[in-house]
Structure 1
């Protein structure tokens, strides 16, 4: 179902790769799950560590990752995180709390070094809890020409932070893979997106490709789009994405990209025609009411203050290189191609 295939990118912001430096541990494809790690403490104050990001002992953490300690409850004190390399040298950064007070974040002031070991320590009401991790090779200088390379995105291995329930529903119905092609790297990185044939990895040339906004590639091999309001045409519809941010890092040899993080805000009023078949309605109020059943609440839109918007955040996205390049396909190309006759 190609409309659903492009709905996953819609609700996951065209889930091809990532945004901003937030989150996203991802070395070689297929690794890292963000599970619990480190010593959770004795819970003397009734609070313990339930999980961490990266995981304790991880060997392929993303060099632009943040550090996360999820707590079992709100710490009544002032929890903080410190980070140091194997030599004990402190890493500059800042600590913050999630809105519910149950997750403590540490944001390094600058990217970490590739292939380097670090120790993160949470100081909280129970005492100290530490994890150790090593960054992957991502972040090393790009030595390959990535123009005309194509990649297949691993959605199953990504971490759908928001909206998790809807993403799981859509991925279960997706039979097409999402493909990414690099068109140019100068002056900016230009990429296109495509869908695969059902159940395969080859490009479906009877489905139009989509153009992404140019990405800043000045910190190659790292790329970044936004934040900006962007309209992407997919499945015959124009999907407006507010505050779109996408980023990631290519491996030095161009064989994959990782550290993908993607974020933005989607308006149920804009998505209505695209989700009508899946949800059985194109009424935005009904769509928002339906999403509540999946634990997703429509929030105030940044654009006009109406409560029809869905915040999206996906990280830990990776994509591996394909053996062939993508071909740009327009609606006119498909209309004039006898092989695409329906």
Structure 2
């Protein structure tokens, strides 16, 4: 987040009235950066809410983005109703995660958010029945290779991604929030039991505010892919700002972090939000989390994320961001797997990549 363009995007998302100072070229750069960071819908909503005068050329783009965000939100809600029909007879809670949870609960973080896939969390002992019901409803696995199937089913926290054969929608079915081989072992049942039911969707649940925040943080810090890193950071900022309106929110965050065995990542995630977005986190909360995590946030890790989190169009042109992202990618895999599994997995992926790069041989099928 070191470039002037990225800093301007962040600053205007936080204080939209600053956009009145932009000329047309800067508006063009702002919208392009927001699109690249997957924050264009949020930018459009915040500019509209501020009621400021916007050049006509930018207005067309921003209004189109607002409409796109709203259509995507409607599509997500429609898909969730389909999941209700497909899974309700199992008699299990289906907990929505991340974007789907924001969209269906009309959470402020969902306003202007652009969506990719849909994430749900179900009890692990129901995975087989859930997968079967989803297949009957038109979902199929997006991973064909036996290795990928084994990788997800043996080591990961989710089934292989599923794609709807009619609509192309991607669904991630989680049974916990971190890989089974991770150095942290969160108890997903804690999140499932505490989730709130929806009146018109009896099978569907929304996580507690502290669990939404914690999952967003661990996703950002353990995923290893930062193409949506800035968007995810703004999700975290919005979740903590909304949650903080509840008097006991911060004690619940601290307690839930301990219960779920994710104190260290949550402590660093809160530090990162305060450091990069000036998120309003009480100093005593940061101190309590820092002490529980065993010490202050790593300066090196802070520097890596500060360098790496930026719109994709900027990251691609920055050797420093590329290097920082690679270091974060390696760290994420190190957190996901013990060394022997990590070496085996990376070796397999390298071989597969080399085979794909081999020139075609005439006469081979």
Normalised-by-shorter TM-score class: under 0.3
The structure carrying a bigger helix percent of its residues is 2
Give me the TM-score of the superposition, normalised by structure 2: 0.25
Give me the TM-score of the superposition, normalised by structure 1: 0.26
The structure carrying a bigger strand percent of its residues is 1
